[in-house]
């Protein structure tokens, strides 16, 4: 089974990068045939501009949360690609801006600064400058050193400005209208943009809205697990039809009703069950730092995030079992992992209160797990 999953992932990666390579080949051909500039420097600037837009298309597809890519490649890998390709986006943007300024300065025989001011007076060029400035701001706060010192909510809010840059950049391209001098080339270019935007809207907006309406997700309980980790228990209807598997990722927003709190986000790798699922998260909205696997006595497994604690402050063991624990060999006793070790599970005693263990979840054929100290 593992070999099949790896083969499917390899095919999906090959299909994605083949599509990217095919698009770049078409763009190169159209640029050579129909994309020459007024001088050689402007031609190079337009070359980098086309590739800047192509990289932006790829960035949007990587984070569009398309089910086909997410299930076969994984959102974790797609996000890593998105991050590293973002550096290429910034460098391509810098080269595009530099060569365009230099090309028009050479064409008008004036200093680059005067050329910059002249282009800033043109609406299309001014919009391009604004979009470039927004992208540079987003890139600067995404540097690891800066991001670690920002609250997640602040970083996420600033990162969403990339959609503002996207809209301004599309208007910039439409007003310039000098990318290609061929109707067919222009049709191809904007058709690809239409597909990318449709994928983004489907994965980021339409599909989540439909799933929330269909499954009617509700927060059933918020259970503290430690000083900085809580488990959010979510219920709904038809959860057995939710397309999620063990180890898959989910993302959701939860309103924070504490003093001064606002909406927070949580990412959870837990698979939902027929009637219940849980999402351990930090109160600040960040997920806990590491994942571990917990196996019950029957061999079934689930994945849960746990927080690292110093040896002197590690929480006491927590025992989870079903109401029929004494007769069921599938019950489990779970406690938090030590540094670098997965949680342990053994047979447990009868329950006393609702389950609070993030690694033990009910299954469609079992009653909800409960917990004893």
| 219-202-52-112 Cα dihedral, nearest 10 degrees | -80
pLDDT-flagged residues of the chain (< 50):
259-260, 262-373
Residue 192: its pLDDT value, please?
95
pLDDT at position 345, please?
41
* Whole-structure pTM value: 0.67
Tens-place pLDDT, residues 191-238: 999 999 999 999 999 998 998 899 888 888 888 888 888 888 888 888
Angle made by CA atoms 321, 322, 327, in degrees to the nearest 5: 95
Domain spans of the chain, in order of start: 2-120+180-214, 217-291, 315-373
* pLDDT of amino acid 34: 84
Q: What is the pLDDT of residue 62?
A: 94
């Amino acid at each position: 089974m593992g070999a099949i999953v790896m083969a499917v992932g390899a095919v999906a990666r090959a299909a994605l990068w083949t599509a990217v390579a095919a698009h770049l080949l078409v763009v190169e051909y159209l640029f050579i045939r129909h994309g020459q500039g007024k001088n050689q420097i402007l031609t190079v600037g337009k070359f980098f501009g086309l590739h800047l837009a192509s990289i932006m298309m790829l960035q949007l597809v990587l984070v569009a949360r398309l089910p086909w890519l997410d299930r076969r490649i994984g959102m974790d890998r797609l996000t890593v690609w998105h991050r590293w390709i973002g550096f290429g986006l910034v460098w391509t943007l810098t080269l595009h801006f530099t060569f365009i300024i230099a090309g028009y300065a050479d064409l008008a025989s004036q200093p680059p600064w005067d050329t910059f001011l002249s282009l800033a007076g043109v609406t299309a060029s001014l919009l391009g400058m604004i979009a470039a400035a927004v992208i540079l701001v987003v890139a600067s706060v995404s540097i690891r050193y800066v991001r670690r010192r920002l609250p997640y909510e602040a970083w996420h809010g600033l990162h969403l400005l990339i959609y503002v840059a996207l809209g301004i950049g599309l208007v910039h391209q439409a007003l310039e209208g000098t990318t290609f001098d061929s109707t067919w080339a222009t049709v191809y270019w904007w058709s690809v943009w239409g597909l990318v935007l449709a994928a983004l809207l489907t994965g980021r907006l339409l599909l989540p809205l439909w799933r929330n309406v269909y499954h009617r997700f509700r927060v059933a309980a918020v259970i503290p697990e430690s000083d900085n980790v809580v488990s959010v228990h979510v219920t709904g209807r038809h959860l057995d039809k939710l397309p999620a598997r063990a180890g898959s990722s989910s993302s959701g927003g939860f309103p924070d009703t504490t003093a001064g709190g606002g909406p927070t986000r949580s990412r959870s790798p837990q698979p939902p069950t027929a009637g219940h699922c849980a999402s351990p998260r930090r109160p600040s909205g960040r997920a806990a730092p590491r994942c571990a696997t917990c196996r019950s006595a029957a061999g079934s497994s689930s994945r849960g995030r746990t927080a690292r604690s110093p040896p002197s402050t590690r929480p006491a063991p927590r025992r989870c079992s079903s109401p029929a624990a004494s007769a069921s060999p599938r019950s489990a006793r779970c406690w938090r992992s030590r540094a670098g070790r997965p949680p342990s599970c053994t047979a447990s005693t009868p329950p006393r209160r609702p389950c609070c263990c993030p690694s033990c979840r009910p299954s469609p054929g079992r009653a909800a797990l409960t917990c004893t100290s």
